[in-house]
A and B are shown apart, each in its own frame.
Chain A
């Protein structure tokens, strides 16, 4: 091969997937076949799919846990579960849903979609991307390791000390939670770093910051939030583990420690986290809903700003707790106060969605139903959140089912419905086949009605004084019938989700083949084939507006994006690096190839955490050495990536 130049003017050409240049691209970008290639791949599309599938598996597990709980609570005085089992179930349900489903599923969407939305060939750090997935997977398994032998975390997902301290909770239950969360934090952090740099550096030429899709804003905001929030919870869990296993006293009030320190660190993380699991989902709606309303989103700038503002306020809420309200409320009105603050920016978004539907010409597809349903649930959740946020009411309601109702309205409404709608929307892009519309509408109506039957009456249970986290209740309290309705609703809701999964399996095999742009949508991912080739785009597109594929129709100006002609960049794995604000090209980026290093590093780090759990110094030492060596190997400068001087001779 010829010497690679240190500087080059990219060839600008017109090309499609059938051009000879694309054959070259295919060769450079496609991974090896077989198990080896599967384990080594760094393709963002592959990783994104794995993220989504894994997160859905956790959703199913968490859902089954919930159904068992609901079976237990269907009637008074039942004995299906012991109190200890119930504690582990609601804790694992919370952990699973919040940490192993809600954020990872959105990371999956963004991993798959970002480079396609941004007109790029991969994420900024493809190997880091693979690492983030593997660590997530292993952390999930780690977190479940003690539950399967009956010793799972049992102190609720926010794990307050002193109940989580060694004195009250001597088994491995809490240690597994603590170490598992530190491990999971690594995955979240490197994933967030990757999103931030990807946005800053790899957008298609012309995609200035005010032209990126709202999903990108959502995930970016979530990632920046995570970067500053995750260290708090990782540290809190690590200190807790040290208190329990190495004899420190951070949370131990008998030796000058403070149990409240736990709550501070946990909620410094918790507030931003709640936004991290909703903002990208709101982004999904902001991007996909307009397609079905046949018009651009109303108020793009307002929605983008609202997204960012929400996160800033998310950090602010904690400060407010810290200095204004005194401490006890901190632990109580988490979802409530968060909702109060979120109201203004959320209202902006809600008005934008409603106006988009109102002024558009809605097409009632299954995906549209999910997005419209989401808007409705968002409003209901907002109102009940506002109620819990009012402090006197809060004291009344906080430990009751009212809170359980509210948090499910918020999380399922803002996360699950958009995610399912998003799957209906992007499924044809990912698989090349459309999902079944009729079954899709059925699944929506079953889910939507089941959801409301399950969770709306919980508000009433709360008002009737039924506390949360009880494993059973006496008859004669007047809660029996309502609980039965709730349980029935839960099973109906679960059936709706089941229908959705059935639809996926059927459509994978027999779905109608999809064209590149089956919905006639506006953004870049729909300009490439369905499913996209390994290299995403035959040429790097050049972007001239927010809606590159709708320009002729909208006719907002003389400028046109170019999706069929642009930089070829076909000499190995390459994409274009652009500037932060205006997305002007400034460097040709060489992208790394497939590698086992991410998997190996993830295994080594997981082994280190297992060794900590088992108090194995040797094990930890070996795992640490492998971690260091793998990292060095990973970072070794490569001539083919032009990290090393090639010499001018």
Chain B
């Protein structure tokens, strides 16, 4: 450091004076919430959340213009959806716990969290797949079925992307990439995973709860 500063001087460049930031140390590179990626993920979530808002808007718009009963085949049953919801929430909780681990310098805890969330996420997908195959209607049956498969499908796609992230993060943690000081990638991935859970709550509320309210 000092050596360099000196070479700068000897090359005839005086250090400027009167600037308010002499000598303070700053973190270098991607650190926690100071990483640009963290802000980037916030903007991504904002735009994706808007996408789901427009999807749900379409649902309510078409529902409000429906001529017959809505949903045409009655409110969807809760046998699978409720446990599925709980599983997703559990996934977010273990992920939160795992991230807390790495903040305290425990990569093992992060790995357990990631692995557990991964298993729970896959379970959710399997249950959704099971629910899909048991529906009495197909994508092209009517506008309700179109909405149902498209919106839950969009969400499943996000779950799949989230699972890919978790899997890759698990690998990276196993490689020893993350520490208490450097783990932005993990925090960013975890934030996305929470987003996937929260969006599901909105989807769940729209499809499974609102028909029961009326």
- Chain A residues with CB under 8 Å of chain B are 4-15, 19-21, 124-125, 128, 189, 192-194, 196-197, 200-202, 205, 227-228, 230-232, 234-235, 239, 242, 246-250, 252, 255-258, 261, 264-265, 268, 542, 562, 564-568, 574, 576-577, 585-590, 628, 632, 635, 637, 641-646
Contacts and interface: CB of A to CB of B under 8 A. Distances in A.
Nearest to A11: B5
Given A19-B11, A246-B139, A248-B146, A562 B16 contact: yes
10 interchain residue pairs of minimum CB distance: A642-B29, A565-B16, A247-B140, A248-B146, A256-B143, A645-B179, A231-B51, A193-B43, A587-B34, A590-B29
A587 B39 contact: no
A230 B61 CA distance: 19
B43 A196 contact: yes
B26 A7 contact: yes
Given A7-B25, A231-B51, A255 B30 contact: no
Contact of A10 (B26, B140, B146): B26
B140 A248 contact: yes
The winner among A11, A231, A568, A577 for most chain B CB atoms within 10 A is A231
B27 A248 contact: no
Contacts of B182: 6, 642-646
B27 A587 contact: yes
**Which interface residue of B4, B11, B21, B72 has the most chain A CB atoms within 10 A?**
B21
Nearest to A248: B146
B202 interface: no
Nearest to B185: A637
Contacts of B26: 7-10, 576, 585-588
Interface string B124-157: 0000000000000001101110110010000000
A628 B162 CA distance: 12
Interface string B1-27: 100110010010111100111111111
Contacts of B11: 19-20
Contact of A239 (B25, B34, B150): B150
Interface in B18-68: 19-31, 34-36, 39-40, 43-44, 46-48, 50-51, 54-55, 57-58, 61-62, 65-67
A258 B62 CA distance: 7
B181 A577 contact: no
Given A261-B58, A565-B16, A586-B26, A249 B143 contact: yes
A642 B28 CA distance: 7
A645 B176 contact: yes
Contacts of B201: none
B184 interface: yes
B168 interface: yes
Contact of B4 (A6, A11, A193): A11
A265 B1 CA distance: 57
Contacts of A249: 140, 142-143, 146
Determine the interface band of chain B, counting residues with CB < 8 A from chain A.
35 or more
B178 interface: yes
Contacts of B205: none
Residue in A19, A250, A585, A637 whose Cβ sees the most chain B Cβ within 10 Å: A637
Given A12-B16, A228-B46, A256-B144, A200 B39 contact: yes
A546 B57 CA distance: 43
Given A247-B139, A645-B177, A242 B150 contact: yes
Contacts of B55: 235
Given A14-B14, A248-B146, A642 B30 contact: yes
Contacts of B44: 193
A201 B19 contact: no
30 contacts: A6-B27, A6-B28, A7-B27, A9-B26, A10-B21, A11-B4, A14-B14, A21-B8, A124-B40, A128-B40, A197-B43, A205-B21, A227-B43, A227-B50, A231-B54, A235-B51, A235-B55, A242-B146, A242-B150, A247-B139, A249-B146, A256-B144, A265-B58, A268-B54, A565-B16, A566-B16, A577-B36, A585-B26, A645-B177, A645-B181
B146 A250 contact: yes
Interface string B110-134: 0000000000000000000000000
Name the prevailing secondary structure of the A interface residues: mixed
B40 A231 contact: no
A8 B28 contact: yes
Interface in B162-190: 164, 168, 172, 176-179, 181-182, 184-185
Given A228-B50, A257-B143, A565-B19, A643 B8 contact: no
B62 A257 contact: yes
A566 B58 CA distance: 53
A542 B66 CA distance: 60
Contacts of B178: 644-645
A384 to B, nearest CB: 32
Contacts of A14: 13-16
Contacts of A565: 15-16, 19
A643 B65 CA distance: 51
Nearest to A646: B182
A265 B146 CA distance: 17
A269 B8 CA distance: 53
A264 B61 contact: yes
A647 B51 CA distance: 41
B34 to A, nearest CB: 4
A193 B47 CA distance: 9
A619 to B, nearest CB: 19
A643 B172 CA distance: 11
Given A193-B47, A249-B140, A256-B66, A9 B25 contact: yes
A249 B72 CA distance: 14
Contacts of A256: 62, 65-67, 72, 142-144
B29 A589 contact: yes
B61 A12 contact: no
A67 B174 CA distance: 62
Contact of A228 (B23, B35, B47, B144): B47
B8 to A, nearest CB: 5
Contact of A628 (B4, B144, B164): B164
Contacts of A258: 61-62, 65
Given A189-B47, A562-B16, A588 B36 contact: no
Given A196-B43, A585-B26, 5 more contacts: A4-B28, A6-B31, A7-B27, A197-B43, A232-B54
Contacts of A194: 40
Contacts of B143: 248-250, 252, 255-257
Given A227-B50, A643-B182, A12 B21 contact: yes
Nearest to B147: A250
B58 to A, nearest CB: 6
B16 to A, nearest CB: 3
A247 B145 CA distance: 11
A585 B179 CA distance: 24
Contacts of B40: 124-125, 128, 193-194, 197
Contacts of A193: 40, 43-44, 47
A587 B185 contact: no
B107 to A, nearest CB: 10
Contacts of B1: 8-9
Contacts of B67: 256
A234 B51 contact: yes
